[in-house]
Amino acid sequence: MAILTSRLEDAGFRTIRFAYPSREEPMEDLVERLAQEVEGSCAGEEESVHFVTHSMGGVLVRSYLSRRSEAHRGRVVMLSPPSQGSEIIDAFANSALPRKVLGPAAFQLGTDPGGVASELLPVRFELGVITGDRSLSPLGSWLIPGPDDGMVGVERAEVEGAAAFQVIHATHTFIMNRRDVAEDVVHFLQHGPREYRPLFKKLLKELKSGAGTNAALTNTFGSVDLTAMSNALKGYVAPK
């Protein structure tokens, strides 16, 4: 996350990188570690701090925020989170070597009802999720049905209650290093989700009616940058 951290700092954010021993401790202990880190590093700001996570970190932050009695006022962006578990964990649930390599916390992220992810309630904070559909793992993609990033299926990354959900052509391992991802993260933390959906619906209506010329679209949308809007909508999936 070093590259993304640097870009967040360039955008004016004070950042704290939270490292956790996922190969040594279960999720419950990691949640306690996170709580102590937030209380120690963000004293007085616990309810408004923003979080940016990758992979397991998304489930970790959801678990932490679910313990709080009041709704969190800060924003959260999750990159490639196994929000509904991963079939890869299911496949190796009874294998000793993968358990030793990945650690106890990872093996709490199966898709079964007993997994940590399935126990979490819909989020009570403003959340944006960005996940990928490009894989560098033939085995991972073979185990995961549908589009995936090599570790997590696109559908498994969805979070009930999220304000925005975006799919890009990126891999699980390197999604956080992309400049466009950093730009989207900064925008969400500063302003919340992009407000393109009403315009998008209007655009579709115009196109279906046959008003597909540049002149007609200009008359419909005025000074709106249609190219920018189109680029922002690539891979966008409206939350359910």
pLDDT at 239 over 60: no
Confidence tier at 223 by pLDDT (50, 70, 90) = very low
| pLDDT value of residue 237 | 47
Strand pairing category for 236-237 and 75-79: unpaired
| pLDDT value of residue 119 | 87
Q: Is the pTM of this model over 0.85?
A: no
Which of these, 2, 3, 12, lies nearest to 50 by C-alpha position? Answer: 12
Confidence tier at 210 by pLDDT (50, 70, 90) = low
Selected residue with higher pLDDT from 134 and 119: 134
CATH numbers and ranges of domains, the chain: 2-191 (3.40.50.1820), 197-237 (no CATH)
Give the DSSP letter string of 54-113. Answer: ETHHHHHHHHHHHTSSS---SEEEEES--TT--HHHHHTTT-HHHHHHH-TTGGG--SST
Confidence tier at 93 by pLDDT (50, 70, 90) = confident
The sign of the CA dihedral 66, 60, 117, 183 is positive
